[in-house]
A and B are shown apart, each in its own frame.
Chain A
Amino acid sequence: AQSVAQPEDQVNVAEGNPLTVKCTYSVSGNPYLFWYVQYPNRGLQFLLKYITGDNLVKGSYGFEAEFNKSQTSFHLKKPSALVSDSALYFCAVRDTGTGGFKTIFGAGTRLFVKA
Chain B
Amino acid sequence: GAVVSQHPSWVICKSGTSVKIECRSLDFQATTMFWYRQFPKQSLMLMATSNEGSKATYEQGVEKDKFLINHASLTLSTLTVTSAHPEDSSFYICSAQNVRSGTGIGNTIYFGEGSWLTVV
Contacts and interface: CB of A to CB of B under 8 A. Distances in A.
B106 interface: yes
Contacts of A51: 41
Given A44-B46, A110-B105, A112-B105, A102 B114 contact: yes
B73 interface: no
B59 to A, nearest CB: 8
Nearest to A47: B43
B28 interface: no
Contacts of A32: 41
Interface stretch (B16-24, B32-40, B63-71, B77-85): B32-40
A44 B36 contact: yes
29 contacts: A32-B41, A34-B43, A34-B44, A36-B44, A40-B104, A40-B105, A40-B107, A41-B32, A41-B97, A41-B107, A42-B49, A43-B34, A43-B49, A44-B34, A44-B46, A49-B43, A51-B41, A86-B105, A87-B105, A88-B109, A101-B38, A102-B91, A103-B38, A103-B44, A103-B91, A105-B111, A108-B108, A110-B106, A112-B105
Interface of B: 32, 34, 36, 38, 40-41, 43-44, 46, 49, 59, 91, 93, 95, 97, 103-109, 111, 113-114, 116
The 4 closest A-B pairs by CB, nearest first: A43-B46, A46-B43, A105-B111, A43-B34
Given A43-B49, A100-B116, A108-B109, 18 more contacts: A40-B107, A41-B103, A43-B46, A44-B34, A44-B46, A45-B46, A46-B44, A51-B41, A86-B105, A87-B105, A88-B107, A88-B109, A101-B40, A101-B116, A102-B114, A102-B116, A103-B38, A103-B91
